[in-house]
């Protein structure tokens, strides 16, 4: 077991911060609050010099810590007095099934975003808008380019994404099933 060096800590923060914020947001429904909760977890790791056995242990610890931090926030007196939270929602959020499915979704989003980031800028932009549910005409209007250009950019993107994401097909299928 060893504590993280500054370089390892920074790498862990940089590589997992966004995913953890999105994960926390599934619980608290507020991105700014999610960022605060995740930062609190990272600060605690640094200040308490928490030791880990390996990289997987760090990731597991972070997800569980963010989950607990989020649930503690939701159960806090402030939240209970300023927002109406359903006890059923909190019970659902405390389940292992919810936790595990959200970790898988968060990891999948991270894999997908990393692949999209490798695309040329215009392709990435078109794919992100498409993933938000926009149609080709809507994307064309938004980006002020022709529909044929949108179709071409999608074709290029799919051609480049297919080999990058081929090993994750079953993961994406699993996520699609979770959302149904």
Mind listing the pLDDT tens digit for each residue in 64-79? 899 989 988 887 755 5
Domain count, the chain: 2
Judgement on whether residues 105 and 180 belong to the same structural domain of the protein: yes
Judgement on whether residues 7 and 76 belong to the same structural domain of the protein: yes
Closest CA relative to residue 74, chosen from 39, 30, 106, 35 = 30
Judgement on whether residues 135 and 146 belong to the same structural domain of the protein: yes
**Domain around 125:** 96-180
Of 64, 94, 124, which one is at a domain's C-terminal end? 94
179 pLDDT more than 80 = no
Judgement on whether residues 88 and 105 belong to the same structural domain of the protein: no
Give the integer Cα–Cα distance in Å for 24 and 64. 10
Judgement on whether residues 108 and 71 belong to the same structural domain of the protein: no
- The reported pTM is 0.56
Of 94, 123, 153, which one is at a domain's C-terminal end? 94
Q: What is the CATH number of the domain that holds 117?
A: 1.10.10.10
Number of CB atoms found within 10 A of residue 85's CB: 13
Judgement on whether residues 82 and 31 belong to the same structural domain of the protein: yes
Judgement on whether residues 47 and 101 belong to the same structural domain of the protein: no
Of 30, 63, 94, which one is at a domain's C-terminal end? 94
Average pLDDT, the chain: 82
Considering all CA atoms of the chain, what is the largest pairwise distance in Å, rounded to the nearest integer?
56
Give the integer Cα–Cα distance in Å for 136 and 113. 21
C-alpha distances (whole Å) from 56 to each of 84, 102, 104 are: 36, 17, 14
Judgement on whether residues 119 and 35 belong to the same structural domain of the protein: no
pLDDT of residue 144: 92
pLDDT of residue 36: 95
């Amino acid at each position: 077991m060893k504590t993280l060096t500054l370089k390892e800590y920074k790498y862990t923060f940089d590589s997992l911060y966004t995913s953890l914020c999105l994960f926390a947001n599934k619980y608290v429904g507020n991105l700014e609050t999610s960022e605060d909760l995740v930062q609190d977890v990272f600060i605690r790791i640094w200040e308490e010099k928490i030791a880990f056995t390996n990289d997987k242990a760090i990731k597991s610890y972070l997800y569980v810590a963010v989950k607990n931090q989020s649930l503690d926030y939701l159960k806090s007196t402030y939240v209970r007095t300023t927002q109406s939270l359903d006890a059923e929602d909190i019970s659902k959020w405390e389940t292992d099934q919810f936790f595990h499915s959200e970790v898988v979704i968060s990891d999948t989003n991270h894999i997908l975003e990393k692949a999209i980031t490798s695309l040329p800028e215009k392709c990435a932009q078109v794919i992100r808008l498409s993933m938000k549910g926009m149609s080709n005409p809507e994307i064309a209007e938004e980006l002020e380019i022709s529909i044929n250009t949108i179709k071409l950019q999608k074709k290029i993107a799919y051609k480049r994404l297919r080999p990058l994401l081929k090993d994750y097909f079953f993961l994406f299928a699993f996520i699609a099933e979770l959302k149904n």
